[in-house]
Structure 1
Amino acid sequence: MAWNEPGNGGNKDPWGNRGNSGPPDLDEVVRNMQRKLGGIFGGNKGNDSGSSGSGPAGSIGIGLIAAIIFVVWLLSGIYIIEPAERGVVTRFGAYTHTAMPGPHWHFPYPIERVEVVDVSQIRTVEIGYRSSGGRPETNVQSEALMLTNDENIVDLKIAGQYRIEDAAQYFFNVRTPDTVLRQMMESAVREVVGQSNMDFVLTEGRSEVATRTEQLLQTMLDQHETGLTVTSVSMQDVQPPEQVQAAFADAVRAREDEVRLRNQAEAYANEVLPRARGEAFRIIQEAQAYKSEVVARAEGETSRFLQVMAEYEKSPVVMQERLYLDAMESVYSRSQKVMVDLSSDSNNVLYLPMDRMRGASGSQAAPLDLQNLTAFPNTGSSQSSGTNNARDDVRSRGGR
Structure 2
Amino acid sequence: SLTNPDETVKSAAESAMREVVGDTTVTKALTAGKGIIEDTTAQLLQQTVNSYKAGIKIENVKLQDVHPPDAVKEAFKDVVSAREDREKMINDAEGYRNNLVPKSRGEAAQIINNAKAYSKEKVLVAIGESERFNLIYEEYRKAKDITRERILLETMASILPKVNKVIADKEVGGNVLPFLPLGQTMNQLNK
Could you tell me the TM-score, scaled by structure 2's length? 0.53
Alignment of 1:251-330 (within 5 A): 251-330=79-158
Q: CA deviation at 1:311?
A: 3.1
Instruction: Decide which of 329, 339, 349 is 2:165's aligned counterpart.
Output: 339
Q: CA deviation at 1:248?
A: 2.5
Supply the AA of the counterpart residue of 1:158.
G
Structure 2 CA distance, aligned partners of 1:316 and 1:353?
36
Q: CA deviation at 1:341?
A: 6.7
Secondary structure of 2:184's aligned partner: strand
Secondary structure of 2:165's aligned partner: coil
Aligned residues: 146
Distance 1:341 1:244, change over 3 A: same
Structure 2 CA distance, aligned partners of 1:263 and 1:284?
31
Structure 1 CA distance, aligned partners of 2:180 and 2:89?
88
Secondary structure of 1:350's aligned partner: helix
Deviations 1:334-378 (A, max 9, x none): xx432347995869642533244xxxxxxxxxxxxxxxxxxxxxx
Supply the AA of the counterpart residue of 1:261.
M
Q: Which has the higher strand share?
A: 1
Secondary structure of 1:338's aligned partner: coil
Structure 2 CA distance, aligned partners of 1:314 and 1:341?
26
Instruction: Decide which of 350, 353, 362 is 2:184's aligned counterpart.
Output: 350
* Aligned residue number for residue 158 of structure 1: 35
Report if the CA contact (8 A) 1:311-1:319 is conserved.
Answer: yes
Deviations 1:74-119 (A, max 9, x none): xxxxxxxxxxxxxxxxxxxxxxxxxxxxxxxxxxxxxxxxxxxxxx
Q: Identity of paired residues, percent?
A: 29
Structure 2 CA distance, aligned partners of 1:311 and 1:289?
33
* Aligned residue number for residue 69 of structure 2: 242
Alignment of 1:24-63 (within 5 A): none
Q: Which runs of 5+ in 2 are unaligned?
A: 1-12, 45-61, 169-175
Q: Which has the higher helix share?
A: 2
Secondary structure of 1:339's aligned partner: coil
Report if the CA contact (8 A) 1:240-1:248 is conserved.
Answer: no
Structure 2 CA distance, aligned partners of 1:152 and 1:184?
14
Distance 1:277 1:354, change over 3 A: same
Deviations 1:276-315 (A, max 9, x none): 3333333222222211111110011112222222333333
Structure 1 CA distance, aligned partners of 2:144 and 2:166?
31
Distance 1:268 1:288, change over 3 A: same
* Aligned residue number for residue 50 of structure 1: none
Distance 1:280 1:310, change over 3 A: same
Structure 2 CA distance, aligned partners of 1:327 and 1:303?
18
Deviations 1:163-208 (A, max 9, x none): xxxxxxxxxxxxxxxxxxx9899449xxxxxxxxxxxxxxxxxxxx
Distance 1:278 1:345, change over 3 A: closer
Alignment of 1:7-156 (within 5 A): 141=14, 144-145=17-18, 146-147=20-21, 152=25, 154=29
Root mean square deviation of aligned Cα: 4.2
Report if the CA contact (8 A) 2:68-2:76 is conserved.
Answer: no
Could you say which structure has the greater relative contact order, defined with CA pairs below 8 angstroms and 6 or more residues apart? 2
Report if the CA contact (8 A) 2:139-2:147 is conserved.
Answer: yes
Structure 2 CA distance, aligned partners of 1:341 and 1:312?
23
Structure 2 CA distance, aligned partners of 1:308 and 1:286?
32
* Aligned residue number for residue 27 of structure 1: none
